[in-house]
Structure 1
Amino acid sequence: MKTKDVTYMALFTALIAIGSKIQIPLDFIGMHFTLQWLFVLLCALLLNRKHACLTLMTYLCLGLSGAPVFASGGGIGYLLKPTFGFLFGFLVAVYVMNSIQTTTIKKTIAGLLSYYFCGFFYYCFMMYIFYQQPIGIIMAFINCFLTIFPDFLLCLFSCEIYKRLNKFIY
């Protein structure tokens, strides 16, 4: 692995962590709308699959080891939060985005859908099985997909940024 690749991976790990602190709290569902997704998208678009996945694994390991890089801090206890699936969904999204050969916007939409479905299924699992609080599938869907429109706008924005940055990265 080249020094330039490691530098980009470290940069995106830091940007995703910073993006988690730029947030709009949605206290009524216990979630935050953050700019993490924008930096995850750019990571997936600008880095290859191996480097993007390593970046997200580094970010998740940092947060789970206690570094306050997630929206509400960090620590192994995050695994028990119903919204942890969205953090894991970042890793799935970068893998999916780098596994398909299509237009940039279609890649970001595929990543968005995989990200949201990971978050949704983990949320449902934790609420129904672990916490034994069946909230209903409709309410779970509303809680999990509440921020999909702003995240879709971030997909569009990331495509524009990608067009401008791509010529400088590699």
Structure 2
Amino acid sequence: MKNTRNLILVAMFAALTAIGAFIKVPIPYVPFTLQYLFCALAGLILGSKFGALSQIVYVAIGLSGVPVFTEGGGISYIFKPTFGYLIGFIVAAYVIGKVRENVLKLTFIKTIFTLIFGLFFIYLFGVVYLYISYNLYLGKDISFYFAFFYGFVVCITGDLVLTVFAAYISIKLLPVLRKNGYIK
């Protein structure tokens, strides 16, 4: 029963992340979406292993050709400048889940710092991949500052708002899930 529940939750968070890709605000180079919100909640609720697995499933479905990413899907998506953010989702869900598993009492402030720590990895992989993609694959000579500005500075405000929202939701939700035996 527990394995079935875990598989359902992994699939649900993969689907939620896909839905989050289509709830977006178009801004230059990197659109603002709700993917990070569901990635963060996956790490917090499912833990490191299953949170990361939900994001791996999401990325695998997209790379297999199902158009679940912000600009479609398919194996050629690895050449998109924003693919690094998808890699970052996997790492972030794992990191967020690992921190949550190791913190005895998760307060609102601790949750915010946990989510920001995970968000760091999304931007680390995203900005570096954006820079490398433009310079090596697309042949457009951009500075690291350009990639940092459009890949981080322009986007971070929205993700910080989502961080506070995810922290608030999880502080209310995690005790209920623990009480009912859904998480440890």
TM-score of the pair, normalised by structure 2: 0.86
Distance 1:46 1:98 in 2: 8
Distance 1:124 1:138 in 2: 9
Give the share of equivalent positions with the same residue, in percent.
39
Map of 1:151 onto structure 2: 159
Distance 1:148 1:95 in 2: 20
Map of 1:119 onto structure 2: 126
Map of 2:107 onto structure 1: none
Q: In structure 2, list runs of 5 or more residues that go unmatched.
A: 104-109
Map of 1:163 onto structure 2: 171
CA contact (8 A) 2:20 2:38 kept: yes
Moved more, 110-119 or 122-131: 122-131
SS in structure 2 of the partner of residue 111 of structure 1 = helix
Q: In structure 1, list runs of 5 or more residues that go unmatched.
A: none
Which stretches of structure 1, 4 residues or more, deviate above 6 A after TM superposition? Answer: none
Map of 2:33 onto structure 1: 34
Distance 2:129 2:29 in 1: 15
Distance 1:137 1:18 in 2: 31
Deviation for aligned residue 1:132: 2.5
Distance 1:139 1:54 in 2: 32
AA partner of residue 119 (structure 1): G
Distance 1:63 1:39 in 2: 16
Distance 2:8 2:145 in 1: 43
Instruction: Work out the number of aligned pairs and report it.
Output: 168
Counterparts in 2 of 1:77-116, with a 5 A limit?
77-100=76-99, 101-102=102-103, 103-116=110-123
Distance 2:86 2:34 in 1: 13
SS in structure 1 of the partner of residue 26 of structure 2 = strand
